[in-house]
A and B are shown apart, each in its own frame.
Chain A
Amino acid sequence: MVQNIIDVRNLSKSFDIASKEPGLKGTIKHFFRRQTKSLKVIKDISFEIKEGEIVGFLGANGAGKTTILKMLCGLIYPSEGSILVSGYLPFKRKENFLKNITLIMGQKQQLIWDLPPIESFYLNASIYDLDKFEAKKRIKKLSEMLEIDEELFIPVRKLSLGQRMKSELLAALIHEPSILFLDEPTLGLDINAQRNLRKFLQKYNEKTNATICLTSHYMKDITSLCKRVICVHEGAISYDGKLDLLLKKLSPVKEILIVCRSEEDAIKLENSGFTVKNKVKNEITIKIENNSITSSLKSILNNFDIEDLFINEPPIDEVIGKVLIKKEYDI
């Protein structure tokens, strides 16, 4: 049986936020008498993650995804509730716990700006107490997986964003952590760089059975990496489960564009009881429920003279967009 590697129970986090009225009067008032209010950004959430799972955290900006990741890796103290990661209390930041995890943030970097990435790798290797031989071996292995070579010897400031992100990944993985926290790792990358990064993460997960917690606003990252998603809405979990179940629930119908041989066939099809979205000459678009798609298509092909047909999946971004604004999904 696969063990739970992350166990979160009734977790909450509140921050004291300073609020300021607009204008000069507000500024002066704010300077002398700062008014703060306690804002509960994470509200009583509970979930478990199994070893080797890749879980995507979905939510609108400010929903609390990054705060959850930061509490999981021990950067922020929780206000209430409990977290166990790999058997450790994260906020105690014990050495063995830190050797087991890594955090990669798409918008922040740890590489030394003026030096080639290889220097940062060896520095990290010494921090993780790896000898030179072992560090060299791991750099070679990871650079092959990431498909970087010459870039290792070029100053970071001269690298493209994609090359820099790959180097950031290598720096963050040199100690071969078993839990990866990734906060928007593909932010700002072009399509090819995004694809390469996803390919690498998939490979890394397969090879090492590492657990990956990922936040991203690029739906392709989520759909190609995560079987399970946790949707966060205003600090609370609105859905925790399989991604394909969520997609089925959110988009229960498919649109099918059918090109008939003649306009008469199209008219016949229009009146045969299917839900028609629109019809232009011999082309007709109908909506069919996901669970009856095979039987419906079979009946159409048998009863009508069809030239061609296209099944259109609804855009994933549009579907997921619905999750970000809804409080709860009961599936």
Chain B
Amino acid sequence: MNLRKYLKVYKKFLHTSLASELEYKANILVDLITAILSLVGSVFLLSIFFQNSGYIGGWKFEQALIIQAIYTILNGITNTWFNPNLTEIVKHIREGTLDFVLLKPIDSQFFISLKKLNPSGFLEIMLGFFLFFFCIRINQINLNLSFLTLSTITISCSICILYSLWFFISTTTIWFVKTWNAIEVLRSFLYIGRFPLNSFSFSLRIFFSVFIPIAFITTIPSEVFLGLSELWKILLEFIVASVFLITSRKFWLFALKFYSSASS
């Protein structure tokens, strides 16, 4: 793979996406306001849960806020990259415009995963980081090199798991044509990631760890920040992320053999 070429193409993707989005100023403004209101609403909801008892599933409100911060950062990443690109896969397959992607001398997964970008998602990422640094302060977390390395690894793994799950579902469009509902179900499961895994019953914890690995997406990185995580969990998250990423790639290449292109 020619890295220089891919960087050059990605720079063009950034440029064209920003230029496209900036054509609609009002839309960006509405997205920004929605992101702020959504964060305020989520923190308010969380505070209501903690109103009667100071702990849920062994987590204090201040600690649970870290999960909310990570969720907000991941949701920002979702809205910036995953949502504009991965939902487009369904459209590409239904309308047959995937033909243009497949005939370009560039990796098709790279193209369809990164071509678009929604700049309003950046604000959500910034809000998430703002909340995150606030949590570090109120939880008196000591920032050191090992802490920063482990948190970067776990958050990167979370992004990989989230991307792979979404990409996997979108790929099934090649057979099922319409998969909007499955993506909506995935998004609603992600809302659950705003709460600590321990706050759910045992059976739900198993479900959110094995079948839809929401636990790996927010809870494990949060535990790392609070110094509560054990090494095996971090290793497990790394393995799960790698397996998901490799599987989604293999699955895409396999699915393309069944692509029949839309009729013209």
Contact = CB atoms under 8 A, between A and B. Distances in A.
Contact of A75 (B2, B8, B103): B103
Interface residues of B, number: 29
A66 B264 contact: yes
B264 A126 contact: no
Nearest to B24: A114
From A77, A155, A183, residue with most partner B Cβ within 10 Å? A77
A244 interface: no
Nearest to B95: A108
A115 B16 contact: yes
A96 B105 CA distance: 8
A98 interface: yes
Given A103-B99, A119-B19, A123-B12, A76 B264 contact: no
B257 interface: yes
B103 A73 contact: yes
A218 interface: no
B181 interface: no
Interface residues of A, number: 37
Contact of B99 (A70, A122, A123): A70
Contacts, number: 79
B162 to A, nearest CB: 27
Contacts of A122: 12
Interface in B139-186: none
Given A103-B100, A115-B16, A126-B12, 18 more contacts: A15-B260, A74-B102, A75-B102, A75-B103, A75-B261, A93-B103, A98-B104, A99-B105, A103-B103, A105-B99, A107-B264, A108-B96, A108-B97, A113-B20, A119-B15, A119-B19, A127-B9, A129-B5
Interface of B: 2, 5, 8-9, 11-13, 15-16, 19-20, 23-24, 95-97, 99-100, 102-106, 257, 259-261, 263-264
Interface of A: 15, 66, 70, 73-77, 93, 95-96, 98-99, 101-103, 105, 107-110, 112-115, 119-120, 122-124, 126-129, 155, 183-184
